[in-house]
Amino acid sequence: MKTSILTIMLTSASLCLANNPQLRADNIDEIIKNLTIEEKARLLVGRENSESDKGVPGAAGVTQDIPRLGIPSVVLTDGPAGVRISPTRKGDNATYYATGFPVGTALASTWNQELVENVGKAIGNETLEYGCDVLLAPGMNIHRTPLCGRNFEYYSEDPVVAGLIAAAYVNGVQSNKVGTSIKHFAVNSQETNRIEVDEIVSPRALREIYLRPFEISLRTSNPWTVMSSYNKLNGTWTQSSPELLKTILRDEWGYDGLVMTDWTNERRPSYERVAAGNALLTPGHDWQETDIIEHVKDGSLSMKDVDEQVKILLSMIVKTPRFNHYNFSNRPDLDAHAALTRQASTEGMVLLENRNNTLPLNKTGKVALFGKTSYDFIAGGTGSGNVNKPYVIDLKTGLTNAGFTIDPKLQDYYEAQKVLNDKIRAISGESSRYDEPAISRRNIEKLAADNDIAVITIGRQAGEGRDRDIDGDFNLTQNERELIENVAAAFHAVGKKLIVIMNMGNVMETASWKNIPDAILLAWQPGQEGGNSVADVLIGKESPSGKLTMTFPITISDIPAVNNFPTGTGPNNRRNGKNYDYSNHEEDIYVGYRYFTSFDKPVSYPFGYGLSYTEFKYSKPVVKATPDGFTASITVTNTGNREGKEAVQLYVSAPGKDMIKPARELKDFSKTSLLKPGQSETLTFTVSADDLASFNDEASQWQTEAGTYNIQFGASVDDIRAKAPYVQKKALTKKVNNVLSLKRELNTISPQ
Ligand code: GLC
């Protein structure tokens, strides 16, 4: 009897399966025909990972499964500096730490696309081996101002740097056959009121500055997904904008992957966002499924639009490791990745000052190590860009590992302060953020007598959901200033030196104090091996070759965009609890160095700047016209007495007859390998006529004017080492759709 019931059950089950085709890469259309509208809505709406028993603990989200058709749930996990999942699991003795890699600004500051691709490969491997399918990275929004809390996750003020670094990262991650998500598309330039703010941008600034990085990244990489951002753009939610997500992204740029929303919990019309081109609403709520079903039934959402997005989603799912039953190990090679992050982060560190060749230190010795961050090093930023790392090497440990002796009394003092600070944080939730404990001059003089050198770490933390303050954040605190001044005075009085380490993910004020220390190393937030990485650079085991991918202004008010940024001042933006609703991009295309060079304004450190332990000579360049623009080459020679790498930037100054143009714009960059003293390397560059174009708002077209262009090869935007002319014989125009236009008057600045 039992047997027969079992037989009947098995038969009916197999019949049932037989009636239900199982998803394969080549039968997606058939599957769609078999899906009910309820199932289609289920597919288009994700779920918090925590609400699913099919996810990976600590991951961000999952898609929903349809078991009867063999459609699995797949796992979406953050983030740009490493896989963000829970490091421990209830009832499980194993651990699931992921490697904390350098943050976005640190990776971009390497100017080394190959290195970034290698870091991406390692992060992609951890994504794969921890059972995830899509990494929600890279973050690649433009640094409109230094005050955006998430700049640490992003790459640059310049679209070419942001686009090429993002492409390298995507190719690295996806070489593991897992997906990425280029984000946040588009103009997600601030954290204050990010869910509501309406970014008011001219079509020219939109095309040339804010969309350009995404466009460039899609030329040389094919990210599985794009994440549409929270904000509005010229009056329309980006997530509900077919002009952005279909007309530009797909019709003009040819993107055929999946668009998912950023993690929106607000009750916005879900059917609109499916129609606009999102194939996945995340994190996802049941009311969104209902909304989709109801609007299909009342005809306001076409089944055609639904099926189009379901097809895109299924086309992504069939590529995932989970669909292909990859047997993930939960054991990526964390030791190898730790070594990789230790080396990679040194290449992004920027040597800002090095008076009388203070660095590299030619011997170890006794160090008076100041600054609470020296003992509590900041490896990365906060929010979804954080990583649950197995450890962080602080600077005290890194210097000790390198053979230095840390002054014990000073160490005890700071570590006692840390205990006190942690208690304050535990009680009040607030830590004293950056305030340094005061140290008397007398004690500092004693330390100068007892030690060989002084090191001060200035630390800054920032992250998702909050923008930075100016006082006490962008600017030094009074205690920090006094510490730098007093330590420099005491150590200089006895012929000893002071090194300042900047441990942050973003820009801060430097002009008022940069001439006090003997050396300044911008270490960024270098990942879990941070202290070792800094020590490697200080002792010359690694030569710093990082260069700034954003401008360090003299004061924050020198940046025009700050007038329209939520700093608690300015006509359009208020914080202190009051939401504001828009931000005018009156600076237009004059973001970063485009502003400072075109308006001839001084800066503290220019875009592209970074010192080395050696010097480089640039040869006479060769620029050759091609049918589609020009190629250029230049030979770089190490003329110093230490090895080093040099990142060379190719800028172009256009004739500027048909439109007002920035003084110069970066069009390509390349970096030498490690050159020994006397060694040379020839770098090549490629620039197309399209790359030379500017965007004409009125005509809604890209325009490459004919005439003589001045091609400049720079060690930074202000340090042009070689020039050559290029004649663009024919004027070119490329019409694009007149979309996302301004809905209101916008008074933009202009250098003329
Ligand atoms: C956040 C972030 C996004 C992240 C997502 C999932 O709101 O804006 O970058 O990937 O949610 O955590």
Residues of the chain with pLDDT under 50: 1, 570-572
Number of H helices, E strands in the chain: 19, 30
Q: Tell me which residue has its CA closest to atom 10 in ligand 1.
A: 136
Nearest atom, ligand 1, residue 136 CA: 10
pLDDT of res. 14: 54
User: pTM of the prediction?
Assistant: 0.96
pLDDT of res. 455: 98
- 617 with 639: CB under 8 angstroms? yes
Measured between alpha carbons, how far is 248 from 702 in angstroms, rounded to an integer?
Answer: 14
The count of other CB atoms within 10 Å of the CB of residue 90 is 6
Q: How is residue 557 written in tokens?
A: 């008010």
pLDDT of res. 144: 98
Q: How is residue 260 written in tokens?
A: 């998912």
Nearest atom, ligand 1, residue 137 CA: 10
pLDDT of res. 84: 98
Q: Tell me which residue has its CA closest to atom 9 in ligand 1.
A: 384
pLDDT digits (tens, 9 = 90+) for 477-503: 999 999 999 999 999 999 999 999 999
Measured between alpha carbons, how far is 337 from 172 in angstroms, rounded to an integer?
Answer: 14
pLDDT of res. 1: 43
Of 458, 646, 457, give the one whose Cα is nearest residue 543: 646
Cα distances from 295 to residues 42, 300, 424, in angstroms, run: 14, 5, 52
Mutate to test the pocket of ligand 1, among 78, 86, 226, 386 (most ligand atoms within 8 A of CB): 78
Nearest atom, ligand 1, residue 79 CA: 10
Q: How is residue 229 written in tokens?
A: 């951002």
pLDDT of res. 570: 45
Give residue 705 CA to ligand 1 midpoint distance, Å.
40
- 132 with 576: CB under 8 angstroms? no
What is the 3-class SS of 187-211, one letter each residue?
CCCCCCCCCCCEEECCHHHHHHHHC
Nearest atom, ligand 1, residue 84 CA: 12
Mutate to test the pocket of ligand 1, among 152, 262, 281, 467 (most ligand atoms within 8 A of CB): 262
Of 437, 422, 429, 504, give the one whose Cα is nearest residue 468: 504
Greatest extent of the chain over all pairs of C-alpha atoms, in Å: 99
- 145 with 197: CB under 8 angstroms? no
The string of DSSP codes covering 445-490 is HHHHHH-SEEEEEEE---BTTBPPPIIIIISPPHHHHHHHHHHHHH
Active-site residue (options: 65, 133, 158, 262): 262
- 343 with 507: CB under 8 angstroms? no
Give residue 77 CA to ligand 1 midpoint distance, Å.
9
Give residue 384 CA to ligand 1 midpoint distance, Å.
6
Of 227, 221, 197, 245, give the one whose Cα is nearest residue 78: 227
Nearest atom, ligand 1, residue 229 CA: 8
Q: How is residue 711 written in tokens?
A: 């091609």
**Is 658 part of the annotated catalytic residue set?**
no
Side chain identity at residue 431, one-letter code: S
- 3-class state of residue 351 by DSSP: strand
Task: Please report the sign of the dihedral spanned by the C-alpha atoms of residue 402, residue 404, residue 405, residue 406.
Answer: negative
Mutate to test the pocket of ligand 1, among 85, 136, 154, 192 (most ligand atoms within 8 A of CB): 136
Nearest atom, ligand 1, residue 139 CA: 9
Nearest atom, ligand 1, residue 184 CA: 9
Give residue 151 CA to ligand 1 midpoint distance, Å.
14
Give residue 138 CA to ligand 1 midpoint distance, Å.
11
- 3-class state of residue 9 by DSSP: helix
Of 456, 573, 595, 547, give the one whose Cα is nearest residue 161: 547
Give residue 136 CA to ligand 1 midpoint distance, Å.
8
Give residue 566 CA to ligand 1 midpoint distance, Å.
21
Dihedral angle computed from the Cα positions of residues 24, 29, 35 and 38, in that order, rounded to the nearest 10 degrees: 110
Mutate to test the pocket of ligand 1, among 382, 464, 466, 467 (most ligand atoms within 8 A of CB): 464
Mutate to test the pocket of ligand 1, among 226, 259, 263, 464 (most ligand atoms within 8 A of CB): 263
Nearest atom, ligand 1, residue 194 CA: 8
- Ligand 1: list residues with CB < 6 Å: 60, 78, 136, 183, 262-263, 384
Q: How is residue 111 written in tokens?
A: 């100017």
Give residue 263 CA to ligand 1 midpoint distance, Å.
6
Give residue 229 CA to ligand 1 midpoint distance, Å.
9
Q: How is residue 432 written in tokens?
A: 């004293």
Q: How is residue 150 written in tokens?
A: 């998430």
Q: Tell me which residue has its CA closest to atom 1 in ligand 1.
A: 263
Q: Tell me which residue has its CA closest to atom 7 in ligand 1.
A: 263
Exposed, middle or buried: residue 16 (CB in 10 Å: 0-12, 13-18, 19+)?
exposed
Q: Tell me which residue has its CA closest to atom 8 in ligand 1.
A: 262
Give residue 84 CA to ligand 1 midpoint distance, Å.
11
Of 230, 108, 224, give the one whose Cα is nearest residue 166: 108
Nearest atom, ligand 1, residue 78 CA: 10
Block residue for tokens 């944080």:
425
Give residue 710 CA to ligand 1 midpoint distance, Å.
42
Q: Tell me which residue has its CA closest to atom 6 in ligand 1.
A: 60
Q: Tell me which residue has its CA closest to atom 5 in ligand 1.
A: 263
pLDDT of res. 424: 76
Give residue 675 CA to ligand 1 midpoint distance, Å.
40
